[in-house]
Structures are given as C-alpha cells and as structure tokens.
Chain A
Amino acid sequence: MSVAIKIVNVVKKYEKTTVIPDLSLEIKNGEFFTLLGPSGCGKTTLLRMIAGFNSIDGGYIKFDDEVINEIPAYKRNIGMVFQNYAIFPHLTVKENVEYGLKLRKVSKDESDKRVEEMLKTVKMYDYKDRLPDRLSGGQQQRVALARAIVIRPNVLLMDEPLSNLDAKLRIEMRSVIRDIQKQIGITTVYVTHDQEEALAISDRIAVMKEGIVQQVGTPCQIYKRPINTFVATFIGSSNLIKAKISIENGDKYVVFNKEYRLKMNNLKSDVKEGQDVVVSIRPEELKISDKGLKVKILKGTFFGKFINYEFILKDDIVFGENRVCEFVQDISDTNKFLKENHEIYLEPDLTRINVFSEDGSVNLVEDVIINE
C-alpha cells in the first residue's frame, strides 16, 4: 500500500562535507512529488536516503508512522526507476518484471496475471520475451517502470528517469509516467534537474539548492510566486531589474527610473520608503506599450508560436552580470517583426511580476506560498 513520507531534520554527510544540513519535508500519500534543483543540490542524495542506499546521518524518515532509518533497502518495499534504466540484461522483459514478485513468493498464477496486466499498462506486452539489448531506451524505461510498480511498493522513487532519452521521447514518456502514476495512485518521489519536466509532471515540487529546500508548492504556485531570485531564475526565466520603493499617500510604488514607476499595492506591509529592490519579470509578463521601460531590441528569434526578443534597457538598471533581457511576443498579437536597434517601450504586467529584497532572498509580494 502507498504511504505518506515524513522527512524530519534529516542530515547527510560525506566524510567532512555536509551535503544536506537539515531538511524536512512531508510527502502526501498518493501524490507525485518532485525534487528539483541544479546538479549537486542533494536531490539524488535525498532520494537515495529514502530508498535506503544512503545512510541517514541525522534526523529520521517515516513511511506513515514507521521510522525507516534502520530498515535495509531490500526490506523497505520501494519501487525504484533509475536514470540508466538498470534493466537486468540477462533476463527477458517478462523475467525482469517478474523478478520482484518471485522474491515475494507470489503464486505463479497471481504473478502471471499481474505481470501481464502491468506489461499491457506500459504497452510492452508484445515484447515480453525479448532480451533488453534489443529494446530502445524508451522501451527499457517502460520495462523499468513496470518492474518497479508491479511489486505494489510503498513508494515509487524515480531518479532522473528521462534524462537519457531524446527530447521527443522524453515528452512522450513524461505523460506515460504521469498517467500510470495517476491510474495507480502511488506515492511518487521524482528527481530531476529539468524544470520544464518538473512543472509538467508534478503535483508538488520542492526546489532545492545546496542541500536546502527553497520552496515547496504546486508548479503553478512556484512559477507564479517564486520565493527568491534563485527560484525565479531556475524555474523558467526571469529578467531581474533593480528598482526602489516609494510610498506616497499609503500607495506603494516600484520606481525604475525618473520617468517610470509602477503602483503595486500587493506588496507586503513592511516595505520601506527608499528601499532597494530587485524586480523579477518573466519574458511573457512584458508587453509593448506607449509607456514603461525604454528598451533597444538586439535581436529577435522566430519560434513559430512566438517570437523571442533580446533587448537591453536604456538605463543601466539590470541586476547581475548579464545585461541582456528577454521578452516574448505572441504571434497572434501582431504581425510586426521588430528590427534590430528598434527602440520601444515595454510595460510589465503588475499583477504577475515579483519584487524581491535587494539581496534576492525574500519575495516582497503578499501572496507567496513558502511551503504548502
């Protein structure tokens, strides 16, 4: 049966370096939960701690009410899918899927029934007698998925299962995994560094950096209201622009330069007059207008559904090293293709943009959800 996972103050150390200093998370029964972060953020380490392949050096992990710290991996009843599929090369597709059932001494009839059902679910039944070396990467991953699920594990763990596949197959397999997970309703912990994949597949995402969970929430929550500039730039892309707060008659303004300011009354109450802030604007949150930020177009790239423009601001107010910003223009809006060096005004959508403290660590907009 599927379980809820409770991770409490967990610590992981490799010799002298601490990979995970102190991490807590709760994963609900039946949900698709993704650990997302750049390489080296500790997401795979955490997954392997849940699996039992890495020891837990502090804190504890619970499956429902049972602490699993000292339970060896092979007794945890987990299903695991690996980046390199890890199909047993000396066994056929059917034998691979049967493997876990045989160890559980499931009767022959029962086992045959479950294997058949499972192979049909992942659409691999026609290949049941093949050896893995005659399967494509996508097919191997389907077998791996079947093998992991057929044992009816407490939890399904997936470690970057799609990163060895090509782009098209990745998108196809992503919905296969998603559909099967929903159909079976098993608690799933999924590790990836691909933010697009995470957004597409998850019920909830935990964004990690340097062993610390930055934000937990639904894909929509995290995309719309990132907790800090790291999340804002890691999930999707964001233009970061320096600005100042100004308060007049109780109204709060974000001041970009002498000519342009935005009235933003959804900012938290503790913002101060004259406070330096960083405004994060996603490319789709800008639109061409007769007022706003004055920019010069560098180049436009045609993508079919939309055009992506790179531009620089007339004032030197961009945050960080990269001076080049981006915005996208929906093709249906206009048939105009902006030329190089063309100067225009861009107006941010004030309901959607985010405002961060000067160091980028706190989102100053009111409705941010840190941990749902």
Chain B
Amino acid sequence: MNKKIKFDFWTIVTLVILIIFALFLIYPLTTLFMDAFKEPLTSKFTLANFQKFFSRKYYYQALINSIVSATSVTLLSIIIGLPIAYLMTAYKIRGKRFLEILIIISMLSPPFIGAYSWVLLCGRSGVITKFFKQNFNLNVPTIYGYVGILLVLTLKLYPFIYLYVSGALKKIDSSLIEASESLGSKPSRKLVFVIIPLILPTLLAGALLVFMNAIADFGTPVLIGEGYNVMPTLIYSEFISEVGGQANFAAAMATVMVFLTSIMFLIQRYIINKKSYVMSSLRPIQIGELEGIGKYLAHIFIYLVVILSIIPQLTVIYTSFLNTKGAMFLHEFSLKSYRTVFSRLGKSIANTYVYGLVAIVIIILLGMLTAYISTRRKSTVTTIIDTVTMFPYIIPGSVLGITLLLAFNKGYIILSGTATIMIMAFVIRRLPYTLRSSAAILYQISPSIEEASISLGCSPVRTFFKVTAKMMLPGVLSGAILSWITVINELSASVILYTSNTRTMSVTIYTEVVRASYGTAAALSTILTATTIVSLLIFFKLTGSKNISI
C-alpha cells in the first residue's frame, strides 16, 4: 500500500485554512485563557483574578444580571414570537409579506439603534416622556436599566423565534394533523398534542440562539442599561480602564463568559442532535380564515408587535432629517446632520463599506473552501477545522475584540489599530453564517456531479470552480447576505479594536450617542439601515427567495 501524502490543491487549501484558524482564532484564545490565570505583574499562575470576580458583588452581580436579563428576553421572545409564527402560518393575515419583511429588517438592524432611539423616545428628555410630562404631568416609567434592555432586545430578537418556528411549521405535513384527528383527537387539541411537540426542538434551538445573542450583546446595555451592568459592558469597561497595563482581570471575566456560552452552546447542540425530527412536507398546513373577534385580536397583536419593533428605525430616519441644536432636535427639517456626517465622519462610511467588502470576499472564499474540505475531504484535520469554526458562536463580540487585541498588540505580529485587525474580527465573527449555508448546499449536491465532470476530462480543481462553486452559489449567497449585514452592523468587537482612523459607522454611531450628538448618530444610523434594507432587497431580487435562512 502506498501511503504517501499527495500535495494536491485541496491539501494545500486545508493547510492554509488550518493556519488561518490557528493564527487568528486558536492562538488568540489560548493567549486569553492563559492571561486569565496569570498574575498581572509577575505572570505567575494564579486563580486570584477569578477569586476577585466571584468575591465582589460589583463584579459577580453583572454575571447574575446577564443571566437574568438574557433569560427574561428569551422567555418574552417566545411569548411573542411563537403565537405570531403560528398565526401567520396557519391563518390568513393581511399584509403578511410586508409584515415579514419588517420583521426581518427589525431583526437585522443593529440593536444599539433600537436602544438609542428608545432613549430618544422615552429617555429622560425623550419625546414621549416630555409629552406626558407637559400635557398630563405624568411620569413615564424609566426606560433605562433592566426594563429598557428587555424591551429593546426582545423586540430585536423575537424574530429569531418567529423565523425558526414558522420554518418548522411549514414543514409539518397536514396529514400528521389529519392522522391525529382520525385517531380520535379533537381538532382543538391538535396544537397541544401534535404541533407543539413537533416544533419543540426547533423552538428550543431558536430560544438558545436568542439567549446567546442576548447575553453577548454589548450595544444595548451600554446605551440603555445605565447602572445595570452586564458582562459585556463590565468586560469592556474593565478592559478599557486597564489599557496600557495588564488585562488579566478582563481576560478572566471573558473566560467566565466563554465558559457560560460554551455550556449553552453544548446544550443547544445536544438538543438539536437528539431531538430534531426530519420532516418534509408534501402538503403543508392549510391556511385557514380567522372568524369574528379572534381575527381582530390576531391582527392587533401582530401589527402592534411589528410596529413597536420597527419604531426605532422610523424614529432614527425621522430625526435624521431634523435640525439640531447641540443634543436637542428642533422642530424643523434640515439636512444639517447629513452635512456634518459627510464632512466630519465620511471616513467611517467609507471604512464600513471597504472593510465590509473585503471581509465579505474573504468570508465567501473561506466559507466555500472550508465547507468543501469539511464535507468532501473528511479527515482528522478537517474535523479539527470543523470544530474550530464553531468557536465564533460561543465567543461574544467583546470577548473576541479583547482576544485579538491581546494577541496582536505585542510579539511578532502587531496588528492593533490596523484595518487588518478590524477585518479579521469581522471575518471570524460572521464566517459561520456563510460556512453553514455553504455546507448545507454541498450536502444537497451529489458528489457524482463532480465525478461526471472529472470523468469528462476536467481536473478536480477546475471542476470545483467550473461546476461545484457555481452550483453552490445560491446557498452561499443566502449565508453571505447575513454575514454582510451583520458585518456592516458589527459593534461589540470593533468598539474595542477601532482607532480614529479605522472606525466604522457602528462605532461612530456609538461614540456620537455617547457624546450626545444625536443628529449625526441618527443620520449615520439611517445610512446604515438603508444599506441593510437595500442589501436585503437586492438579495431577494437576485435569488428570487422571499426569506432568509438563519
């Protein structure tokens, strides 16, 4: 037997990908975990950082807050998302298509825009607050802290539940329900005995996704949380205050955070592997008509939720066209904010698009090649790569930011403050979307298509670009659109990595809000939201699909 290793194209690709992940993911993470166990000055092994964290209420309270708020957000998202999904799938709802697009937009626009416009509306000097104060002398309950985080994140994250669950509902074959009825179950009980059990695994998977997003979010709590500290904001402030010195304590907190998210991730995987049913629907559930009061209640409920969740975008767009005086909006229209943005902050817009485009090209290339080697060229090495590509799911953005900064601000490769480190963070964080969708479509492409091409005289490498890549494209795009939108909206890692030269729109919106320059923040947010919507519309047009896969 000849066991020689052939250095063909795919072996080289595998090695290159392995090196990329080792250098930009495994090495930084190892550095972070090691730092967490080191004494700041002597670099000796210690547990002191963790002891400090768990012994002072100020610190561990943030962990409790994180868990409490993420759990509440998850439960609320289910309470809202589940009924909307059911009503929209099983019954005729007016403007369904339009509602769906609004839901997707509210999901894909960055959460900090939500936080900041709710502050504009219901904050201390918010429009609604003032309105009630002046006209009725009423104090609107405060939007800051726990309540605000809950409001903003729920309205941002319930769409995950909605999309997951309605996806599962569409896969239920109506014969299953008929079977249950023929076996003597009342039609009214089908929901409890057939539908809920069938969608439960999907619901749980969606719920965990919401939880992970909620617990990792930085923008919302930092803008609306005020005294309500959560892990990402605490890690950020500890890290920023330690800059120049040692970041061991922040590293320890990041480690705690990654530990928590890893556990959640493992639970999620376990549920999906153990409990998911393979269903394919030949005959989807019939769309019924709601009668009487139920019809009105359903419409009111759905429209209320969707409008509430799109309000931040509308507020931002509206206020971006208002004249401003300091932090105040005046009651007159003006393009002043836009003028300011283009004259003073134009760089951040350019950065966003340039970094975004570079990142998305790398993501698509890396995603397709990695998906290919891990599905078609299975080996120990590709299994390792496959596992490593899961890491971004469990590493919150702020942790990734710190990780990269700690790893690349000293030693042989110094990247801190460069555009490279920003793009790197984007690629690592958002690769999984494209990677997963690429892998999914590859599983649907029979290997014999490639073999057919090879047998006709096309070398394997050429076959990949000539046949496989072309056939993968629709699947790749459905992931790439998510990668792209989340890249341009990325805040939690970039806020740690940016410098005045490399800042993006998201970062600038954040800094503008912090310095109470609401007009420019609104104008930038509008540009960002518009980019998101336009990208989505192009995607829908291009692929002919009506939905995005998450």
Contacts and interface: CB of A to CB of B under 8 A. Distances in A.
A40 interface: no
A357 interface: no
B448 A73 contact: no
B455 A79 contact: yes
Contacts of A86: 446, 448-449, 451-452
B1 A78 contact: no
B457 A100 contact: yes
Contact of B455 (A74, A87, A89): A74
A143 to B, nearest CB: 11
A148 interface: yes
A72 interface: yes
A90 B451 contact: no
Contact of A151 (B456, B467, B470): B456
B471 interface: yes
B456 A99 contact: yes
A82 interface: yes
A58 B471 contact: no
Interface string A70-83: 00111111111011
B280 interface: no
A147 interface: yes
A74 B448 contact: no
Contacts of B531: none
Contacts, number: 70
Contact of A99 (B453, B470, B471): B453
A76 B458 CA distance: 11
A21 to B, nearest CB: 14
A163 to B, nearest CB: 13
B449 A88 contact: yes
Contacts of A314: none
B460 interface: yes
Contacts of B470: 90
B452 A80 contact: yes
Contact of A148 (B446, B455, B460): B455
B91 to A, nearest CB: 33
A262 B466 CA distance: 67
A90 B459 CA distance: 19
A82 B1 contact: no
Given A84-B446, A88-B467, A90-B470, A103 B452 contact: no
Contacts of A306: none
Nearest to B452: A86
Contacts of A83: 448
B457 A74 contact: yes
Nearest to A56: B2
A254 interface: no
Contacts of A76: 455
Interface of B: 1, 446, 448-449, 451-460, 463, 467, 470-471
29 contacts: A13-B1, A51-B455, A53-B454, A72-B459, A74-B456, A74-B460, A74-B463, A75-B457, A76-B455, A77-B457, A78-B455, A79-B455, A79-B456, A80-B452, A82-B451, A82-B452, A86-B446, A86-B448, A86-B452, A88-B449, A88-B453, A88-B467, A88-B471, A90-B471, A99-B456, A103-B457, A147-B452, A147-B456, A148-B455
